[in-house]
Amino acid sequence: MGLRGLLREKLERRKDAGEDRYPKIEIKEPKNLIVFPALKKATEIDIQYPLLEPFVYAHVRWDTKKKGLFYEIIEPSLSNTEKEILETIKKDLLEIIDVELSAIKEEGRVFEYIQEKLQKILEDENMKLPKESYIKITYFIYRDFVGYNEIEGLLHDPYIEDIGCPGLSMPVFVVHRKFGSIETNITFEDSGYLNNFVIKLAERSGRYISYAKPLLDGSLPDGSRVQATLAKDVTTKGPTFSIRKFRVEPFTPIDVINFNTASSEIMAYLWLMIESRASALVCGGVSTGKTTFLNVMSMFIPPEDKIVSIEDTRELNLQHQNWIPSVSRIGFGVPEIGGRRYGEVTLFELLKESFRQNPDYVIVGEVRGKEAYVMFQGMASGHASLGTIHAGSVDDVIKRLEMPPIELSPTLVETLDMVLVMIHAKEKGKSARRLKEIDEIESIDPKTGTPHTIKAFAWSPSSDTYSANLEESYLLKKMAFEKGISYDDMIKELKKRQKILEWMRKFGVTNFDDVSKLINLYYKEPGIIIDWVEKDVPPFKTKMKEAKKVLESYTGLKVIE
C-alpha cells in the first residue's frame, strides 16, 4: 500500500467532529497596531503580538543564553502525519494548478482558488481530515504557495524594516523599528530549498537569477526591495537574501516631526524651498532614511505641478495625480559589445527622455553615474530636481559630483541649491534617524571646485535639538527677491507654515492622504487653513460653509458637521 493509501486509512479511522464541508479559511492582518509599553531594560522585554490572525504571532523576548533580544515567529505546529499529508497535497497542487498564480491580481482570490483545488484533491483522494488538521494544513498551503514561506509572517510585521538571511544554516535577522537588529528563530538548513526560495523571490520580482547570473536586485509586488545571491562562489555561506520592506502608507512631515528626525521649523523651511522650485540632494550612508525623507519632501510639491521620477527599483510613493513614475530595467540575452543587453533601459535614458516631458520637478531615486550630468543640465535650464546620493557630508557630495565617474564642472554643480545630510543616530534609539544638517550652496570656486556653503540648520547630538541660522540664509533671501517680497515677510510666511504643521501635529493628523489634502488646500485657499489654525479647531471638523464647499471641491473629503 502506498503513502496515500496509508494516510487515507489512518484518517478514515479518525472521527471528524462537525459538518462534512470544510470551513472557508480567512487569514487577516490585525486591524489595530500594537503600542509597545515603555520598558527601561532590555531584559524586561517579553512581548507577543499578532501578524496574521489567527495563525502567526511575533514573540520578542530577552534570551538569557544569547544575552540579547530574540524574535520568534509562532506558527501552528504539525504532527508527523500532518506533515506527510501537507507534502503530499503540495505535490498534487503543483500538478493540478492550471493558471499562473501571479495572473490572479487579488491575493484573496488566489487563496480562494487554492482552497478550491485543495478540497478537490481531498475529494479525489477520498481523504477526510479533522477540521483542526485541515485548518492548519490550509495555512501552510497559503504560506508556501501564496506567501513567502517561513518569512511570510515577517513581511506582515509593520515594525520590521529589513529582513536578511546571511546564508545556509544561519539565522535570519530582522531590523525592528523599536528594538533594532534582532536574531530570529528562522533558519534555512537545506541548500536546495534555499536555492529554490531565492529563485521564488526573483520570479515574484519579475527578474531572473541563475548560476550564470547569480545576483538579484528587484522589487516584490508590494514594493519591498529585494537583493539576493545564488551561487556559493559569490557568497561563500550559500544563497543569501535581503528584503528592505516597503511602507504601504508613507511617512508624512508630521511623522518626521514626531520622530524628531527634523523639527517643525525645518519642515516649514523645506515647504517654502520646494514650493519655490529649489533643487536638493539628500545624502547619507546606507539605511539613514534618505529615500524616506525625499518622499516626505515631495509632499510639498504643489498639486498641479508635473513630476517625473526615475528609480532603479520603485520606492517613491507620491499623492500627485500628475506624476509619471519611471523605473529602469535590465536587458535580455547575451550582452552586446560594450556590455549592453537587448531591451535594457537605463537611468540615463529615462532621465534624458524625462526632460522632453516638460516636468516641473524631476526626482531621481539615487544619483551615482552619468545620469547626473543630464540632471544638472536640467537644473541649469530651470527644471527643479530632487534626489539622493551616498555621501557623508556636503563636501563629500561635491567631491563625488566633480570626480569620476560623474565628473561635473564646478559651474554645473553650482546649480544645486542645497544638500541635506541624514545620519543613523543609534545613540538616540536603535532605529533613530536624524537630519544632521542642511547646507545651502551659495557658490563653487571654479578653479578648485570648493563649495562656499551656509549651514541653515544643524542637529545637536547632546540635546537632540535643532538650531537654525536663518539670518544668514542665502536661499531665503534669494527666494524672497524672486517673489518680490522682503526677507522679513519670507520669515513670517515660514513661521506661519510652521504653525500649520504644529497644528496638524497637535490634532494627530498623520495620515498620508489627510496631510496631503491639507497642504494642497493651503495652496488653493490659505485663508481657510489659517482660520482653522487661529481658532484652534480640529481639521475637517468645522461648520464653516465656505470651508465645506472648498474642501469638497478640492479634496473630495466629506466635512463632518
The grid coordinates of residue 135 equal: 485548518
- Residue in 159, 158, 139 with CA at minimum distance from that of residue 75: 139
Cα separation, 389 vs 396, in Å, equals 10
**How far, in Å, CA of 493 to CA of 491, rounded?**
5
Task: Render pLDDT for 46-62 as a digit per residue (tens, 0 to 9).
Answer: 999 999 999 999 999 99
Average pLDDT, whole number, for the chain?
86
Which listed CATH number (3.90.1150.200, 2.60.120.260, 3.40.50.300, 1.10.1270.20) goes with 253-535?
A: 3.40.50.300
The least confident of 33-42, 438-447, 491-500 is 33-42
Give the three cell numbers for residue 516: 496631503
Best CA proximity match to 159, nearest among 81, 47, 254, 75:
47
Q: Which residue has the higher pLDDT, 471 or 2?
A: 471
Bridge partners, residue 452, by sequence: 443
Half-sphere exposure of 401 (CA within 13 A, CB side): 32
What 3-state class would DSSP assign to 261? Answer: coil
Residue 38's pLDDT is 73
* 419 Cβ neighbours under 8 A, 6+ residues apart: 280, 281, 282, 283, 394, 397, 438, 439, 441, 453
Give residue limits of the domains in the chain.
3-147, 153-244, 253-535
Whether 84 shows a pLDDT value over 80: the answer reads yes
* pLDDT, mean of residues 366-391: 90
pLDDT digits (tens, 9 = 90+) for 203-223: 998 888 988 889 998 888 888
Angle 349-355-356 (CA atoms, 0-180°, nearest 5)? 95
Q: Which residues contact 144 (CB under 8 A, 6 or more apart)?
A: 90
CA distance 354 to 457: 32
C-alpha span between 156 and 150 (Å, rounded): 12
- Give the pLDDT band (50/70/90) at residue 345: confident
List Cα–Cα distances, 18 to 132, 152, 205, in angstroms: 11, 31, 42
- Give the alpha-carbon dihedral of 304, 525, 476, 473, to 10 degrees: -110
C-alpha 209/C-alpha 198 separation (Å) is: 8
What residue spans of 189-343 are helical by DSSP H? 191-204, 253-258, 264-275, 290-298
Q: Residue 279: what pLDDT? A: 97
CA distance 115 to 96: 12
Q: Average pLDDT for residues 225-244, to the nearest whole number?
A: 91
DSSP for 429-495, please give it.
Answer: -TT-EEEEEEEEEEEE-TTT--EEEEEEEEEETTTTEEEE-GGG-HHHHHHHHHHT--HHHHHHHHH
Average pLDDT over residues 378-391: 92
Per residue in 122-181, pLDDT tens?
888 888 889 999 999 999 999 998 899 999 999 999 889 999 999 999 999 999 988 889
- Domain 153-244: state its class: alpha beta
pLDDT at 89 over 50: yes
What is the chain's alpha carbon radius of gyration, rounded to the nearest angstrom?
27
